[in-house]
Structure 1
Amino acid sequence: MNKAITDGVLLMPPVFSNGLDMWSSGNGTPGSDTYEGAPNAALVPADQDFGGCLELQKVNSVQKLRYKGETPLLPGCYLRIRARIKAIAGTLPSVRIAGWAGGAGGTHINDKVEVGPTVTLATYGDVVEVAAIVGPGARGGVDMAWGSQAIYGHFGLDLTGANGGVVRIDDIEIEDVTRFFLRDMISIVDVRDYGAIGDGLTDDSAAFIAADADAQGRKILVPGGVFFLGDDVTLNAPVAFEGTVTMPVDKMLLLTKSFDLPTYIDAFDDEELAFGKAFQALLNNADHDSLDMCGRKVTVTRPLDMQAVVPNKTSYATRRVIRNGQFDAASGPAWDTEVVTSEATYSANDARTLTEVVNIANIAVGALVEGNGVGREIYVRSKNVDAGELTLSAPLYDAQGTQNYTFSDFKYMMDFSGFAGLSKFVLSDVEFQCGRYASGIRLSPTGKAFHLRDCFISRPKDRGVTSIGTGCQGILVDRCQFLSSEDSEDVPDRTSVALNVNANDAKLRNNRSTRFKHFALLGGSNSVVLGNHFFQGDGTNAGVRTAGLVIADNYCNATITGNYIDNCTIEWTNERDPEPDFVSGFSFAAMCITDNIMLCGNVAPWFSFVVVKPHGSGHFLNGVTISGNRFHSINGNIDRVERVDTSFSDLNFSLTKNLTFDANAFHGIDKQAANPLRIRHAAASVAQSWTVGVDGDLPFGGRVLSVDSIVAHGPILNAGSGVHFVTPYVRSEQGALGDQATLIWPTAVRGEVSLIARMDR
């Protein structure tokens, strides 16, 4: 910036050859003496060094030379005054640039430094340049800091020292040098000033560190170029990148005052690489708990191995957050599922291990395991190649012996499986646009309290969120959307799963899931499923439906409340029990399904909303509450809302305990089950024994284990139509299915009664 050009301001004094009446021997103020006609001053028209110049003899203790014109001082403007001078004869004087600070109304601004550095002339004929800078601020290199009150100056030079010397002075120059201070004025520190080269080869780490140490709160500028950083670099000052940096995978760039994804993208000029480096910094920087993506979209061309980008961390347990951004999967072969078929041996005595695994080196940790007797959502948690053993995420229910297994390694946009453990990690307001190319998130083998909130997992190819071990312990999934890539597929053709959980204490709250094969498989206990909407219908008439929610732990201690469950079932199973026959314990216990909206339409009549599927004999219901739900079937009735899937085994209804099935609403349901069940029975002819059947109205086709009460409706009459004032006793579990009760009267009677039958003890 040059004021003489940009603002039309005249800074340069006239040349001496124009006359000496504009050059003062005083301060340059109006009325001060000039050198016009002075005996100690003369114009030299043709000096060999200067051309035209002023020859001046020193006759005063301080021989002043000042331009009488008022050189303006504009706000934020810095001026450099320069003069070239040489000694001709006599005593050698000293010389310095000098001025007079003028304020409004021609007042003198006192208490300001009005002289520059002094230079002593040492040799006759040698040309010496003297200079000084004047401006409003006391910046480095400013010789005369005059503040904001000085609005003009009279500038020139002083000769000091002994009198008598003769000097020649070239025309004095005044120029705008604000550009020298522009960086300081906008608080910028340029890494090039500290030795950075920016050729992509030279290690500029030390220069970056030195610039940061000198920044003192100013912003660091990384100008155009490619700067190689061969070591860890921490910048505690704000930073702006015009150029880019490159560094080894194991070296970190910690931007403590500019910690957000856009700055890292500016730094590395590669979205995927920048995100990895920012995540690396997040796990190695105590100053920030979160990485703000600032709404940026990162195009992902391959699975993001989250541990590989942080090679100095194999586990992490401090709360960290990634928030406010989007990941978009780009098509390519990196997302192709790797499928390996290998022979292996399984024993229920070592329920989570496959041994003698053939081709184990090619089986990936995190791969889905499929085979005879393998439940849903079983994954490889770890492997020991030397021992030929795979550790599984859960036991198998019926795979004793040796067989071929299929291992499918899905590819995830964000893969944490390389960590041994990861706890208290949060993804907030992040969208995963899987595009049918990739799956969403794979969790670490161990960890606690992974939190997914206000996120979208859109169109995953295979899986939304996958737990391959216990990295889902205490998982929190809140207000998220799981949008299937299989909307157009009929239900039997769907294969994708929104999420699975293996460990305890899962919380799924206020989520929405569309048309997956399953919304969630919960393999642990103490789960809370609250306020979710998951739906899985299709356009097929009398179509089949899959489980929206799979509870894969018979003693589940689960609460399923306030959900909108649309065209799918709640399936409760023990398919992860290596010895599925009941021997001891609580069996299918501690389930609470309350206050849900359950809707279906165009389904096969045998569809049911709640299905219990035991994988072994002897199991029973124990401590189950299904209450306050609204069951509704449209476009055709269904038989009942609850049933037992007897593909493997039935329940033992003679052991049912503490089952409450009441206060539900039924619309379009043929059998409206309840327990306790109110039955009204009329005997038109006298009999001593009345058989009362429940006609399938007890839940799950249960047995009549007890009758709580019997109330007569009107008189109980004997054969002579006399009123009979006695009550019967009851025999329960009558009939071939045990679903009848027999009322035994002291004598043959007729009449009508209501009774309360129960299928539990």
Structure 2
Amino acid sequence: MNMAITDGLVLMPPAFAAGLALWSRGDGVPGSGSYAGQPNAALVAADADFGGCLELQKTEATQKLRCFQQIPLQPGLYLRVTARVKAVAGALPAVRIAGWAGRSDGTNLASAVQVGPSVALTSYGEVVTVTAIVGAGNRQGVDMVWGGAAVYGHFGLDLTGSNGGIVRIDDISIEDATPVFQRKLLALVDVRDHGAVGDGATDDTAAFLAADAEAAATGRELLVSAGTYRVEGHLTLNARVRFEGRLSMPAESRLACTRNFDLDSYASAFGSETAGFAKALQALFYFSDHVALDLSGRRVDLAGPVDVAALAGLTSFAQRRLLTNGQLNAVPGDAWATETVSSHATYSTSAPTRLTGVVNVAAVPVGALVSGAGVGREVYVLSKNVGAGTIELSLPPGGLAGRRSFGFTRYKYMLDFSGFASLSKFEITDVELQCNGEASAILLPMAGSTFRLADAVINKPKDRGVTSAGSGCQGLFIDQCQFLSNEQPARAQDRSSIGLNVNSNDVKIRDNRVVRFAHFAILNGTGHMLIGNHIFQGDDETAGLRRAGIVFTQTNTKSLVTGNYIDNCFIEWSNEHDPAPGYASEYSFGGLTVSDNIFTTTDVAGSFCWFVLAPKGAGHFLNGLSLTGNAFRAVNGDVERIDRLDSSVATMDFSRFRNVTIGNNTFNGVGQITASPVTVEHVQNTAAATWSVDASAFLPFGARARNVSALVAEGAITTAAGAVQFVTPYVQVEQGSGGRLVNLRWPQEVKGRMQVTLRCDNPV
């Protein structure tokens, strides 16, 4: 007997010698008749085989023998009921173990199997042992499955067959057979012990809850033994659970394994990593005592996009949640196919993020990239109103108004969060998104803040790494990740994939490694920090073209680029998303610090520049640019200069430059140093009253010489005849063509050498 289960439980029925009043000729329930004084029943004191026993003549179609004693039964307890019987006269009957299953309210559990296997008596005097096992669980070897609702039984036997036969029955024994079914009884509670059927059709929810309650209360592990268990509705398991069998649940129903919330458990529960990942990710949004889903270091194959919001059944969520430690792998299939729609719409700069009169608006997917003449990069469909025929955009498409053609391209993402109207504090760490050129990686929620991607790998995205189609990039963290393009063999100018884009403010992009995209980051908004990244966008071409690695599309960007390795690409600064790109008393280009970076190129055309200013409207100027402490190096071919003004659309108002500092940089393989302020040495060999000082090659972006901050004569200033003059000139700035020269005006004609410090701006 297993005392861990049965200690304190009285399992053995009374001996017949204790009196036949203790034995019922019915079901054993109170009020049923006993065998005391019955003519067909007698005690035998000394049978040769049994010693004391009961002699019983069969007088009914089913002659019942039940003890009045209530034998307890509980989940996890299995009882073996045994009777030894022999025929002594008359017709030979059949014998079976039988019982009456009692509920806690004293009623019979009619659905329970209440008879065991039947054994025929075939000769007189032969001792036949009849046995049956009774228990809650639907296990192999259990003859009478009573489920979790039966709490006691009245046990005995039945005689069936022809009447008139006389049998002798030894004392009936009942013993604990639990060890037959539970090898580690102290460690496990099996759901089958509480009545779970495991046939894939019967709702086993109640059995799971009962078994879990026992396991949690006793500190044991819940065992879901072999079988397929249907659970209708949500299920929370508070004990640690081991799955040998499988669960079947409606798509909207959640499984919460609160003590082992990891992919291993869910994959075991649902039969595959893919199905397990979906159910675990669904549950992640409903836990209060778990914030992280551990992928257990395993790979999850995805045959199509995971619509996270639809899976969760939510449109907003603001608690921290973490997906970590594994790989998501895109497998080929039609579900990754890009959707493309062409349409016509009207754009007005008075409603800068709206398209109206959109043809076939119902077909335009939310989250689609918008393209067309004059449309800035990385503009997406934020929402649509089919009835009104309008589309809301993530950013203004630019400054071209009117009726025109637009293209809408909806990429497919492995993790698509766009169904969330708002999601904050979601994190993905130590996960590789293996896109395999089949899928893009992550589409951020439409709104929210502080989404975090850290120590992750975006590997071979088909079109995009991380996309923001709304404002869900507010406060985005991208830390210590690798972005590996699917277009690495292609020439830089032929690539189209983009690592990430941003529409909102305060993004931190730190310590990432980025390889060969068309662009790594297209950044609208302000307050960004790019620190410690290695951005490599080169190719294998000789004298090859290069594209921007980092693109700022906000004029007053209030951002810094510090300590990065910017390799075979450049920084571009534009206002391509401005609906009114010309200057109109707003903040102009400013607030950008580019410091202590390594800039390098290999085999590029000499016209390449590492910093490109590209205004899309007239009248703009620089008010706050610091380009300091950087190292510029060109390998296998010199670069003409580090800076360039792209004036293909508009130039700058150089007369309004303020707070521009370009200095303390080093230049190798660069034809012309750029600096402001810059100190140049002017040597005047012929005496003149006006010395024209030309430092225009040093000034950035073709800017003017607007200020002289220092004049130092090196040696004597003399007349033509050599007489030393103790005189000081005054300066005239912005002289000559384009205002790029400075005149030193002397009170008389003199000659000599002068160190002149000038700058392209007003410093305050």
- TM-score band (shorter)? 0.7 to 0.9
Summarize the Cα distance change of 1:207–1:390 in structure 2 as closer, same or farther, 3 Å threshold. Answer: same
Summarize the Cα distance change of 1:80–1:205 in structure 2 as closer, same or farther, 3 Å threshold. Answer: closer
TM-superposed CA distance for 1:229, in Å, is 1.4
Q: What residue is the counterpart of 1:221 in the other structure? A: 223
Asked if 1:53 is matched to 2:54, the reply is: no
Which amino acid in 2 is paired with 1:505? D
Aligned counterparts of 1:300 and 1:190: Cα–Cα separation in 2: 33
Q: What residue is the counterpart of 1:230 in the other structure? A: 232
Q: What residue is the counterpart of 2:523 in the other structure? A: 522
Q: Helix, strand or coil: the match of 1:274?
A: helix
Q: What residue is the counterpart of 1:164 in the other structure? A: none
Q: Helix, strand or coil: the match of 1:604?
A: coil
Summarize the Cα distance change of 1:82–1:629 in structure 2 as closer, same or farther, 3 Å threshold. Answer: same
Summarize the Cα distance change of 1:408–1:50 in structure 2 as closer, same or farther, 3 Å threshold. Answer: farther
Which amino acid in 1 is paired with 2:197? I
Which amino acid in 1 is paired with 2:325? N
Q: Name whichever of 643-652 and 194-203 sits farther off.
A: 194-203
TM-superposed CA distance for 1:187, in Å, is 2.5
Alignment: residue pair count? 626
Q: Name whichever of 460-469 and 203-212 sits farther off.
A: 203-212
Aligned counterparts of 1:694 and 1:128: Cα–Cα separation in 2: 118
- State the Cα deviation string for residues 581-610 of structure 1 (Å, max 9, x = none): 001133101110000000001111111001
TM-superposed CA distance for 1:261, in Å, is 1.1
TM-superposed CA distance for 1:285, in Å, is 1.2
Aligned counterparts of 2:731 and 2:172: Cα–Cα separation in 1: 125
Q: How does 1:72-471 map to 2 (within 5 A)?
A: 177=177, 179-180=179-180, 182=182, 185-215=185-215, 216=217, 217-311=219-313, 313-471=314-472
CA contact (8 A) 1:188 1:220 kept: yes
TM-superposed CA distance for 1:396, in Å, is 1.8
Which amino acid in 2 is paired with 1:737? G
CA contact (8 A) 2:44 2:52 kept: no
Q: What residue is the counterpart of 1:673 in the other structure? A: 674
Which amino acid in 2 is paired with 1:423? S
Q: Helix, strand or coil: the match of 1:267?
A: helix
Which amino acid in 2 is paired with 1:211? A
Q: Helix, strand or coil: the match of 2:640?
A: strand
CA contact (8 A) 1:265 1:274 kept: yes
TM-superposed CA distance for 1:182, in Å, is 2.8
TM-superposed CA distance for 1:170, in Å, is 6.0
Asked if 1:539 is matched to 2:535, the reply is: no
CA contact (8 A) 2:399 2:577 kept: no
Aligned counterparts of 1:304 and 1:172: Cα–Cα separation in 2: 61
Aligned counterparts of 2:680 and 2:85: Cα–Cα separation in 1: 122
TM-superposed CA distance for 1:539, in Å, is 1.4
Aligned counterparts of 2:178 and 2:305: Cα–Cα separation in 1: 51
Q: What residue is the counterpart of 1:583 in the other structure? A: 584
Aligned counterparts of 2:46 and 2:338: Cα–Cα separation in 1: 82
Q: What residue is the counterpart of 2:492 in the other structure? A: 491
Summarize the Cα distance change of 1:172–1:611 in structure 2 as closer, same or farther, 3 Å threshold. Answer: same
Aligned counterparts of 1:366 and 1:282: Cα–Cα separation in 2: 24
- State the Cα deviation string for residues 67-114 of structure 1 (Å, max 9, x = none): xxxxxxxxxxx999978599x9xxxxxxxxxxxxxxxxxxxxxxxxxx
CA contact (8 A) 1:290 1:322 kept: yes
Aligned counterparts of 2:303 and 2:174: Cα–Cα separation in 1: 58
Aligned counterparts of 1:448 and 1:501: Cα–Cα separation in 2: 12
CA contact (8 A) 1:346 1:353 kept: yes
Which amino acid in 2 is paired with 1:336? A
Q: How does 1:55-70 map to 2 (within 5 A)?
A: 55=51
TM-superposed CA distance for 1:432, in Å, is 0.3
CA contact (8 A) 1:53 1:171 kept: no
Aligned counterparts of 2:291 and 2:441: Cα–Cα separation in 1: 23
Aligned counterparts of 2:170 and 2:646: Cα–Cα separation in 1: 107
Aligned counterparts of 2:52 and 2:590: Cα–Cα separation in 1: 111
Aligned counterparts of 1:708 and 1:581: Cα–Cα separation in 2: 31
Q: Name whichever of 255-264 and 223-232 sits farther off.
A: 223-232
Q: Helix, strand or coil: the match of 1:670?
A: coil
TM-score of the superposed pair, with normalisation by structure 1? 0.78
CA contact (8 A) 1:352 1:391 kept: yes
Q: What residue is the counterpart of 2:513 in the other structure? A: 512
Q: What residue is the counterpart of 1:567 in the other structure? A: 568
Q: Name whichever of 214-223 and 644-653 sits farther off.
A: 214-223
TM-superposed CA distance for 1:306, in Å, is 0.5
TM-superposed CA distance for 1:297, in Å, is 0.6
Summarize the Cα distance change of 1:80–1:616 in structure 2 as closer, same or farther, 3 Å threshold. Answer: closer
Which amino acid in 1 is paired with 2:504? A
TM-superposed CA distance for 1:271, in Å, is 2.6
Summarize the Cα distance change of 1:417–1:687 in structure 2 as closer, same or farther, 3 Å threshold. Answer: same
Q: Helix, strand or coil: the match of 2:738?
A: coil
Aligned counterparts of 2:270 and 2:401: Cα–Cα separation in 1: 53
Aligned counterparts of 2:201 and 2:638: Cα–Cα separation in 1: 74
Which amino acid in 1 is paired with 2:49? C
CA contact (8 A) 1:596 1:629 kept: yes
Q: Name whichever of 252-261 and 181-190 sits farther off.
A: 181-190
CA contact (8 A) 1:608 1:643 kept: yes
Aligned counterparts of 1:52 and 1:375: Cα–Cα separation in 2: 104
Aligned counterparts of 1:239 and 1:50: Cα–Cα separation in 2: 54
Aligned counterparts of 2:277 and 2:400: Cα–Cα separation in 1: 43
Summarize the Cα distance change of 1:184–1:703 in structure 2 as closer, same or farther, 3 Å threshold. Answer: same
CA contact (8 A) 2:696 2:705 kept: no
Aligned counterparts of 1:175 and 1:220: Cα–Cα separation in 2: 25
- State the Cα deviation string for residues 446-489 of structure 1 (Å, max 9, x = none): 01000000000100000000000110000000000000000100
Aligned counterparts of 2:291 and 2:534: Cα–Cα separation in 1: 31
Aligned counterparts of 1:438 and 1:746: Cα–Cα separation in 2: 73
- State the Cα deviation string for residues 492-513 of structure 1 (Å, max 9, x = none): 1100001111100000000000
CA contact (8 A) 1:640 1:671 kept: yes
The alignment's C-alpha RMSD in Å is 3.0
